[in-house]
Structure 1
Amino acid sequence: MALASATPSPTAAEPPRNCPLCPRLVSFRETWRAAEPSWNNAPVPSFGPQDGRLLIVGLAPGLRGANRTGRPFTGDYAGELLYDTLIRFGFATGRFEARPDDTLRLVDARLTNAVRCVPPENKPTTEEMRTCRPFLAATIGLLPRLSAIVALGKIAHDQVLAAHGEKLSHHKFGHGAVHRIGDLTLFDSYHCSRYNTNTGVLTPAMFHAVFAKVRAHIDALA
């Protein structure tokens, strides 16, 4: 499949299906398109209403999760804990069945990733994160009612800060930490990956505690 010839707009919130900006990710994407032609194998767009007051930022699509299904956090373990938590705290309705045509709908919340294409071994390079950052900045800028951001992991935390031109040294990542960034409040959480939950780095109770803070913050705005 031919790659797009034009460079994506730096103000676009979503990269095109054949985004050419990161050669390593393009090569990886093409390899998996050949191996699994029924998969999404493309930049994964943000999910949820654009008038939401909450944005949740992850790292990148999982190979057999969002890269396969085309919806953030759909198809791997991380989505099970995340979407269960969002339903629990009123940020989602319906039933999560790990496929994009289930009945799950987000409420007052939107999901995105700092890097939109799946990276080899789930590890984007520094340059790939920098290259994809304008899409994150545009996503944030297009949410008119945005008040809170949840960063899932340190990389997401750092990319949100960088998108705002903030110094990382002024806002240290820590699970449960809360930061003020202009008009926005940034909430930190360890990523809800299977590795973190299996090793006890993150428990469901710890994850719920973060979203309890977020829920209280959002409710106080009403």
Structure 2
Amino acid sequence: MSRVGLIERFPALPWVVSYRTIAALDADLVDCRACPRLVAWREQVAHEKRAAFADQTYWGRPVPGFGPDDARVVILGLAPAAHGGNRTGRMFTGDQSGDVLFRALYDTGLASQPTVVSADDGTELYGVRMTAPVHCAPPQNKPTVAERDRCARWLDAELELLMPTLRSVVVLGAFGWQAGLRAFADLGWEVGRPRPKFAHGARTVIRRDHRELTVFASYHVSQHNTFTGRLTPDMLVEVLTAAAENAGLAR
């Protein structure tokens, strides 16, 4: 769609047409200071650090999405972890939740290696981009509704830039499910009423302009879910495999 066409489609969402590339979007995103509570927390954590990472320099800024800008699958989570993405500068890395996710991506043929430790370790994602409704680490991993809504501009713009190639969306957790469906509705996708309910293994098809996207749900890769067995590696691989197959990504 032309830039004029985008402006006509999204008159109430001017940020959606503000960027021509993912790189330009990410360059602005990492300088965002819109949420005072999140700014204070991410910077406090980056200063105080965890003892195990005392010799490392924390990122301490909003964490951009990670993955190619022509992805066919988007993985949508919650927010960066205080000592994970807030430390490494890469979404869903640097903690045990990220370890579970990247192992599953590797086993599904969507990542170049099973373990990710830093933003410069050479990891590649194949046809997949990872992002979140909230780009700063929140206290207790609980962003407020107002923080989610303030950060929505970045998700809206990122999803629209990915639309030419996007075929599947994998949502980790109920927070991401609600935020993701809301974003797609704002972008003109027919999401359905009432909104589809979150459950592990759930999926829904949304439509816009004769196009379809399939949205897949998984429990979040939080330590609570993985340590208790509520989410097993096989369960996560099953969802990722279904999303990859739907998007035409061969293993």
Where does residue 21 of structure 1 map in the other structure?
Answer: 34
Residue 60 of structure 1 aligns to a residue whose secondary structure is: coil
Q: Find 2:217's aligned residue among 149, 168, 188.
A: 188
Shift of 1:97: 3.5
User: Bigger shift: 88-97 or 119-128?
Assistant: 88-97
User: Bigger shift: 109-118 or 158-167?
Assistant: 158-167
Shift of 1:220: 7.9
Does 2:195 correspond to 1:176?
A: no
Does 2:227 correspond to 1:201?
A: no
Q: Find 1:122's aligned residue among 141, 147, 153.
A: 141
Where does residue 75 of structure 2 map in the other structure?
Answer: 56
Does 2:188 correspond to 1:159?
A: no
Distance 1:69 1:109 in 2: 19
Distance 1:210 1:88 in 2: 12
Distance 2:88 2:249 in 1: 35
Instruction: Report the CA distance shift for 1:218/1:39 in structure 2 as closer, same or farther (over 3 A).
Output: same
Residue 46 of structure 1 aligns to a residue whose secondary structure is: coil
Q: How does 1:33-182 map to 2 (within 5 A)?
A: 33-36=46-49, 38-94=57-113, 96-143=115-162, 144-165=164-185, 166=191, 169-182=194-207
User: Bigger shift: 139-148 or 32-41?
Assistant: 32-41
Distance 1:106 1:71 in 2: 12
Shift of 1:95: 5.1
User: Bigger shift: 25-34 or 42-51?
Assistant: 25-34
User: Bigger shift: 59-68 or 101-110?
Assistant: 101-110
Q: Find 2:15's aligned residue among 10, 24, 48.
A: 10
Residue 73 of structure 1 aligns to a residue whose secondary structure is: coil
Distance 1:218 1:115 in 2: 25
Distance 2:97 2:216 in 1: 18
Instruction: Report the CA distance shift for 1:33/1:204 in structure 2 as closer, same or farther (over 3 A).
Output: closer
Distance 1:20 1:97 in 2: 27
Distance 1:40 1:168 in 2: 40
Distance 2:142 2:60 in 1: 16
Shift of 1:170: 2.3
What's the CA shift string for 1:79-107, capped at 9, x where partnerless? 11111111111211145342222231000
Instruction: Report the CA distance shift for 1:40/1:220 in structure 2 as closer, same or farther (over 3 A).
Output: closer
Paired residues in the alignment total: 213
User: Bigger shift: 205-214 or 151-160?
Assistant: 205-214
Distance 2:116 2:196 in 1: 36
What is the RMSD of the two structures over their aligned residues, measured on CA atoms? 2.0
Shift of 1:23: 1.5
Instruction: Report the CA distance shift for 1:220/1:61 in structure 2 as closer, same or farther (over 3 A).
Output: closer
| Kept in 2: contact 1:161–1:167 (CA 8 A) | no
Which blocks of at least 5 consecutive residues in structure 1 are unaligned? 1-8
Instruction: Report the CA distance shift for 1:65/1:220 in structure 2 as closer, same or farther (over 3 A).
Output: closer
Taking only the aligned residue pairs, the percentage that are identical comes to 39
| Kept in 2: contact 1:96–1:103 (CA 8 A) | no
Distance 2:141 2:114 in 1: 27
Shift of 1:50: 0.6
